[in-house]
Structure 1
Amino acid sequence: MRITKLGGAVCLTLLLTACGTNSGPEASDSTGPSASSSAPEPAPAADKGPECDGNKDAKGLHLLRGGTTALPGGGKVAYAEAGADGKHRTAVLSVDEAKQTVAPGRKLTLKGHSYTVAQICTYRVVLTTPDHSGTNQGAHMAKWPTTSEGHWRLRWHVPDNGPELGAVVTDIQAGPARASISATDARRGQLAFYDDVRIGSTVEIAGKLWKVETIDTGHMNVGMSSPDFKAGYVDLRQLGDA
């Protein structure tokens, strides 16, 4: 089963207009895009792990996977690609279309400022500065999202919007069950795009860590007007502060 997949720009439009969302201040009744009955794509190889590598206690600037983060001294950096060999992790960072591969402990200069790559995870990179300053982006969203006993359900193409930040499941596939989740800020653009997450994966949204607990693939190979249509969803379980 292949479901229509949205790129970052379209995700941003969906989130900011709250197409089809059932929560947040901008709710509407839009049903969203049509489903697709095209053949499923082969599943990418599973990440070799480990999930995280480096200093787990490091406090600094969080670069979320697939998103763009503003640097304190100006400019933006993206966590563009992730890599792992079973023992260690690497990440590809992109600044103004210039890419560099980094490992934990690597020192680098971005827009004239010095940083150390303190930690690399499947879902984030943590950068520290000589004075250890840095802000965990999203930490100010402490009152969002609304959860039920620490669980948060995100439905396919139905954005869940907070005062500034929103999240939406843009894609669900089977064989194995996997999904893509976008987190977007009205002012800062796309903060994260977690592509091909599976049950057990960790994501960081709104300054919190979440475990992917359930991926329901639904029944979306029929038209949305069909009585047999059932949209999929992803259940996240809160692990704690990021």
Structure 2
Amino acid sequence: MGEAPRDGVHVLRGGGFRLPGGGGVQYAGARADGTTREAVLRDGDRYEAGRREWAVKPGTRVTVSGHAYTVRQICSYRVVLEPESAEDEAALAAPPESLEPVGGTADARLCFTTNKDVLAAAAAGFPAKGKKLPLVGNGGVQRFPTGLSITVSNVDTATDTVGIDANCAAIPVAGYKGVRVGETVEFAGVQFEVSALTEQAAELTRTSA
């Protein structure tokens, strides 16, 4: 997968990320042949029919609303983009007025950021590394300190797969479908392994600091 830049934009599979300048991008799909991996990016921070799409590899340059980014990493669970301009890099890292979410689109500065204080607050809202995060199914919503909410959309014990959706600032930021035990998902810059499934819940184990 390669080494991701520490301050890169993490666009999560099935979700969107709002970028400086009013644009956005989604991680719409992935392709892998065992040796190389490609991602399909879609213009806009949420799905709209007819939006432009790009098939990208690590090193590909993309331009969104006049702002240029380089694809630095592609994983099954995320694409990492690096802004080319210092202005965009600074805008992404700018501190919010408050670390307290208020709900809805007003939380965008907490949800779409590379600011270290925000990411630290988000990480602190999860169980510690190695600990379990249980997520109850049947549409139950679990909320976290910087405005993120996570929902188990479905658990299929016949195929041992789970669907997990995440929203922040009224934007779907992740939509993990058909995830199996042992696979990785990410929320707010923190990685988890799906460690167990039951008919009622999914259990995640935090794997990153």
**Do they superpose with TM above 0.5?**
yes
Paired residue for 2:186?
204
Per the TM alignment, residue 128 of structure 1 is displaced from its structure 2 partner at its CA by 0.6
Q: Following the alignment from structure 1 to structure 2, what is the Cα–Cα distance between the partners of residues 141 and 59?
A: 15
| TM-score where L is the length of structure 1 | 0.66
Per the TM alignment, residue 109 of structure 1 is displaced from its structure 2 partner at its CA by 1.4
Cα gap change, 1:131 to 1:76, in 2 (>3 Å): closer
Per the TM alignment, residue 68 of structure 1 is displaced from its structure 2 partner at its CA by 1.1
Residue 104 (structure 1) aligned with residue 44 (structure 2): no
- Structure 1 residues 69-90: Cα deviation after superposition (integer angstroms, max 9, x where no partner): 0012321111111111111111
| Matched ranges for 1:16-165 at <5 A | 53-57=1-5, 59-96=7-44, 97-130=51-84, 133=89, 134=92, 135-136=113-114, 139=119, 140-146=121-127, 150-156=131-137, 157-163=139-145, 164-165=147-148
- Structure 1 residues 130-175: Cα deviation after superposition (integer angstroms, max 9, x where no partner): 3573544872423323569621000102211124111111111133
Paired residue for 2:202?
234
Structure with the higher fraction of residues in helix conformation: 2
Rg larger in 1 or in 2? 1
Contact 1:62 / 1:125 at 8 angstroms: preserved in 2? yes
- Number of positions where the alignment pairs a residue of Structure 1 with one of Structure 2: 174
| TM-score where L is the length of structure 2 | 0.75
Q: Following the alignment from structure 1 to structure 2, what is the Cα–Cα distance between the partners of residues 129 and 235?
A: 34
Q: Following the alignment from structure 1 to structure 2, what is the Cα–Cα distance between the partners of residues 148 and 59?
A: 21
Report the residue type matching 1:70 in the other structure: R
- Structure 1 residues 19-43: Cα deviation after superposition (integer angstroms, max 9, x where no partner): xxxxxxxxxxxxxxxxxxxxxxxxx
Contact 1:59 / 1:126 at 8 angstroms: preserved in 2? no
Q: Following the alignment from structure 2 to structure 1, what is the Cα–Cα distance between the partners of residues 191 and 207?
A: 5
Q: Which consecutive unaligned segments of at least 5 residues does structure 1 have?
A: 1-52, 219-231
Q: Which consecutive unaligned segments of at least 5 residues does structure 2 have?
A: 45-50, 93-112
Q: Following the alignment from structure 1 to structure 2, what is the Cα–Cα distance between the partners of residues 147 and 116?
A: 32
- Structure 1 residues 198-220: Cα deviation after superposition (integer angstroms, max 9, x where no partner): 0111011122100111111x2xx
Greater Cα offset, 108-117 or 128-137: 128-137
Classify the secondary structure of the residue corresponding to 1:171: strand
Q: Following the alignment from structure 2 to structure 1, what is the Cα–Cα distance between the partners of residues 179 and 9?
A: 23
Q: Root-mean-square deviation (CA), in Å? A: 2.2
